[in-house]
Amino acid sequence: MARRREPGELEREILACLAANDAPMTPTEVQAEVPGRLAYTTVMTTLTRMHGKRALTRELRGRGYAYALVNDPATAHASMTAFQMQRLLDGESDRAGVLVQFVAHLEADDERMLQHLLRNTDRSRRDEP
Amino acid sequence: MIVLAALPIVLSLVLWRCAPALAARCTPSWAARALVLLCLAAALTTGIVLCTVAWLAFAEIPAAGRFGHWSADALADQVPVPAVVGASAAAVAALSVIAAGVHLVRTLRRMAAAARACRALGSGVDGLIIVDDERAGAYALPGWPGRIVVSRALLRVLDADERRAVLAHEAAHLRHRHFVYLQLAQLAAVANPLLRPAAAQVCRAVELWADDDAATVVGDRQAVARALAKAALAHPPVTAPEPALAVARSDLACRVRNLLEPPPRRTGRAVALMVAVTIACTGSGLAVSTYAHARLEHAESRYSIELR
């Protein structure tokens, strides 16, 4: 059972969800994609708020809107900074550096183990009703 | 007294061997907390003991006694420290302090760079920054408040639960200020290289801690394991530099096992043991420096008696 979301968590998840999908999404599509039983109004309010903060753009679709990530020069600059920084700090060969990465590096033996894991869990998910 | 002086060094040696076993017996959050405290105590008291020994050897030189107004002979009678021992202690202490100082300066510079990067990245959405980069990855950047940076390439290969797992994992690092644990452990390991395995265990414990938090948030440990697997496989293979904090067994294997088959743990006992060792270390450091101070005062009083 997942626990209740903290403030800000939902906005981050919605942003991640929109980033993963290349096409703009309507509130209904977002509601279906984000885990947990979210009310439609919750999703719509959050999307509207994020649009107000200029984190999202929107276009008319039917009687509602479809939302997408903002794609502007500022974002592109942010991309450069983020990974320049990572390369800079990586280069110091300091594993416990200031950045804490999700996965630091992959070793040879790991690859097989992880592929195996993904195949097994995939199978068990397909078996679920 | 020699026993007390040797205690921090002996305990550091014991920790060199036993750190992985100790950490494995605790839940990750307690392993991280207890080990960091222990590392700091061991590093500090080893330094204190070395400096005290070096100082005593120096103080027993007659010329020093004349200059500082204490009886070098009285000191040498009570606490004989061979010159060789004193010189070695001084050398080791000096190396340790210099190494720690250099490391600290480097760390502060990197933290400043991180703060600049945070400002340059902007506030994102509640600290989340999505970047368009072919490298699939995610990381937490400490700051006030911190940032979570995730590449679109990674988000595309994950499903909804797995995305949630990655975000929750990075958010946990920021919430618990894990970078403080990591920096303190590393500093201790630089000052006292015997502590390197313990510091590596702190790194591992911090990752497991964030994984556990993510599993609680998502409500599904398998999803976190899958996210880990996909993120690792999507990561371009990097020839790992020879890290100062290498662990014998792959961290990834350890994290997957922790998520899918968490081993039985006896956190209470392991933490109690580590706290006891921390107290023993600190106690011995205090005892040694207090004793040396008392002997020096005695030597000073003897000096004034001899003068008359």
Q: What does the pLDDT look like over A29-84, one tens digit per residue?
A: 999 998 888 899 999 999 999 999 888 999 999 889 999 988 766 666 666 666 66
Query: What is the chain B residue with the closest CA to A6?
Result: B217
Q: Which residues of B touch A31 (CB under 8 A)?
A: none
B window 164-183, beta carbon within 8 A of A? 164, 166-171, 173, 178-179, 182-183
Q: Which residues of B touch A81 (CB under 8 A)?
A: 117, 120-121
Is the CB of B216 inside 8 Å of chain A's CB atoms?
yes
Residue A110: CA count within 13 A, CB half-sphere: 24
How far B4 CA sits from the closest chain A CA (Å)? 33
Average pLDDT over every residue of B41-58: 93
How far B233 CA sits from the closest chain A CA (Å)? 7
Residue contact B130–A69, C-beta within 8 A: yes
Beta-bridged to residue B147, according to DSSP, are B141
Please list, in sequence order, all residues whose beta carbon lies within 8 angstroms of the beta carbon of residue A25, skipping any fewer than 6 positions away: A17, A18, A33, A66, A67, A68
Is 50 exceeded by the pLDDT of residue A22? yes
Is 90 exceeded by the pLDDT of residue B90? yes
Is 70 exceeded by the pLDDT of residue A129? no
Residue contact B141–A114, C-beta within 8 A: no
Strand pairing of B128-131 and B138-141? unpaired
Is the CB of B129 inside 8 Å of chain A's CB atoms?
yes
How far A34 CA sits from the closest chain B CA (Å)? 6
Q: Please name which of B20, B16, B5 lies closest in space to residue B208, comparing C-alpha atoms.
A: B20
